[in-house]
């Protein structure tokens, strides 16, 4: 459920519990998961505030992604740019990695069954693999099912990652669902092999797996002269973040042999 309040002075919700999510850019799945859902899971576990007890505040501008995710976990959303008053619940513990485990306390409302245990997640628009046929062939040979998350609903994305035991994926925001992948019903921890373009390597999902007990390995794409020139002449830090790239199937094979489920 979503309510919208655009104009007026302070929006007073009385004794209602409130979680104000407007402090973060919320058109990114990973932000919504590790900055907000982890806190909501923490509140539920430590002080007993469930989805029916608290409203999530978002900006007045429509944000279908955020609304869909919060609603799928049973949270009512209020959209407003006004100041809000009520029982505002705040978490001030710094980094989110130390509370990732609390996300298991949230109940997802739209589980999809029959998802594969071994999944390969490429990308369609940016950060694509140029030799994708070679990589896809390797993945099939090793028993992986290819899933483009751009084509999946929120429920399908959550269910795929929740059920997965072995994941090979190009780095991207949808990997935020990994927060749920190490909480399989059978207790088995997930493994992740993360693929990066040459000019952009970051470590949040490596920290995810360390915090949740899963295994991780990274494979970097072929370094190009453009990437080297950026280093030599001070290019912008993320100027190559969404570049398409070649990656060695042999490096992925080595990672698969190292990280076995």
Lowest-pLDDT choice from 97-101, 179-183, 206-210, 233-237 = 233-237
Confidence of residue 213 (pLDDT cuts 50, 70, 90): confident
Q: pTM of the entire structure?
A: 0.90
pLDDT by residue (tens digit) across 107-133?
A: 999 888 889 999 999 999 999 999 999
pLDDT: which is higher, 5 or 261: 5
pLDDT by residue (tens digit) across 230-251?
A: 877 766 767 889 999 999 999 9
Choices 1.10.3470, 2.60.40, 3.40.50, 1.10.20: CATH for 118-258 = 3.40.50
pLDDT by residue (tens digit) across 123-182?
A: 999 999 999 999 999 999 999 999 999 999 999 999 999 999 999 999 999 999 999 876
pLDDT by residue (tens digit) across 30-75?
A: 999 999 999 999 999 999 999 999 999 999 999 999 999 999 999 9
- The yes-or-no verdict on residue 2 having pLDDT over 80 is no
Taking a C-beta distance cutoff of 8 angstroms, is the pair 2, 8 a contact? no
| Intervals of CATH 3.40.50 along the chain | 118-258
pLDDT-above-90 percentage for the chain: 74
DSSP per-residue letters across the chain:
-EEEE-SSS-EEEEEEEEEE-TTS--SSHHHIIIIIIHHHHHHHHHH---GGGEEEEE-SS--HHHHHHHHHTT-EEEEESS-EEEEE-----S-SGGGGGGGGGS--S-------SEEEE--SSSS-BTTHHHHHHHHHHTTPEE--GGGS-HHHHHHHHHH-SEEEEES-GGGGGHHHHT--TT-PPPEEEEEE-TT----HHHHHHHHHT-EEEEEEPPP-HHHHHHHHHT--TTTTTT--B---HHHHHHHHHHS--
- The yes-or-no verdict on residue 89 having pLDDT over 80 is yes
Taking a C-beta distance cutoff of 8 angstroms, is the pair 106, 34 a contact? no
Q: Tell me, what's the pLDDT at 184? A: 62
Closest CA to 163 of 70, 254, 261, 39: 261
Per-residue pLDDT averaged across 69-91, rounded? 95
Confidence of residue 94 (pLDDT cuts 50, 70, 90): confident
pLDDT by residue (tens digit) across 214-235?
A: 899 999 999 988 888 887 776 6
Taking a C-beta distance cutoff of 8 angstroms, is the pair 216, 195 a contact? no
């Amino acid at each position: 459920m979503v309510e919208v309040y655009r104009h007026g002075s302070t929006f007073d919700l009385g004794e209602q519990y409130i979680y104000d999510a407007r402090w973060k850019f919320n058109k990114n799945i990973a932000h919504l998961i590790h900055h907000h859902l982890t806190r909501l899971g923490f509140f539920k576990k430590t002080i007993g505030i469930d989805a029916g007890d608290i409203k999530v505040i978002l900006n007045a501008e429509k944000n279908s992604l955020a609304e869909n995710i919060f609603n799928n976990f049973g949270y009512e959303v209020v959209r407003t740019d006004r100041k809000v008053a009520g029982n505002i619940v705040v978490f001030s513990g710094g980094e989110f990695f130390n509370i990732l485990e609390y996300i298991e306390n949230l109940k997802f409302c739209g589980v999809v069954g029959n998802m594969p245990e071994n999944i390969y997640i490429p990308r369609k628009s940016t950060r694509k693999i140029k030799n994708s046929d070679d990589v896809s062939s390797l993945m099939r040979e090793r028993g992986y099912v290819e899933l483009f998350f751009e084509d999946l609903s929120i429920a399908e994305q959550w269910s795929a990652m929740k059920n997965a035991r072995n994941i090979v994926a190009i780095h991207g925001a949808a990997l935020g669902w990994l927060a749920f992948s190490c909480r399989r019903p059978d207790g088995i921890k997930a493994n992740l092999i993360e693929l990066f373009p040459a000019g952009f390597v970051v470590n949040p999902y490596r920290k995810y797996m360390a915090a949740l007990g899963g295994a991780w390995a990274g494979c970097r794409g072929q370094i190009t002269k453009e990437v080297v020139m950026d280093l030599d002449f001070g290019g912008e830090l993320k100027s190559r973040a969404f570049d398409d790239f070649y990656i060695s199937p042999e490096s992925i094979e080595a990672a698969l042999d190292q990280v076995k489920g």
